[in-house]
Amino acid sequence: MKLYLASYLETHNFGEGRIINIANGDKPDHVECDLVFPHLIPSKEITIKYRDESLKDYKKAGPAFVKSFKEELELFVKDVEDACKEDKKNPQEILPFKENDTLASWERKHFNNYRGYVAECLEKLGYEVVLN
């Protein structure tokens, strides 16, 4: 199953399916989201910690954010894999994604963003990912 990861600001990179929010905060008025998937959104705790730490030492704040977010994603993958074993299903049968859905966040393609980590997570679960 193919999923797209893209920026709200670059809708030309969206797939033809639904739009699923994976960003904290408000969404743009020009994009209608069909679903919010909080498991792939950095938690408020690590987002707040990143904001606060970046004011003190931005060189340490980024790596700390990445480490914490990767840990959250690893727990999500483990939970999905455990549920799959228990229910004797694959991730595509358990998770709400459909072919050509787009998981959207704010940052543009060539700026720092966390979609690459989300892509790795989804690939571990057997999805084909188009990362923009």
Domain ranges of the chain: 2-131
**How many residues are there in the chain?**
132
d(CA 128, CA 69): 21
Residue-level pLDDT, tens digit, the chain, 132 residues = 999 999 999 999 999 999 999 998 888 888 989 899 999 999 999 999 999 999 999 889 999 999 999 999 999 999 999 999 999 999 999 999 999 999 999 998 888 889 999 999 999 999 999 999
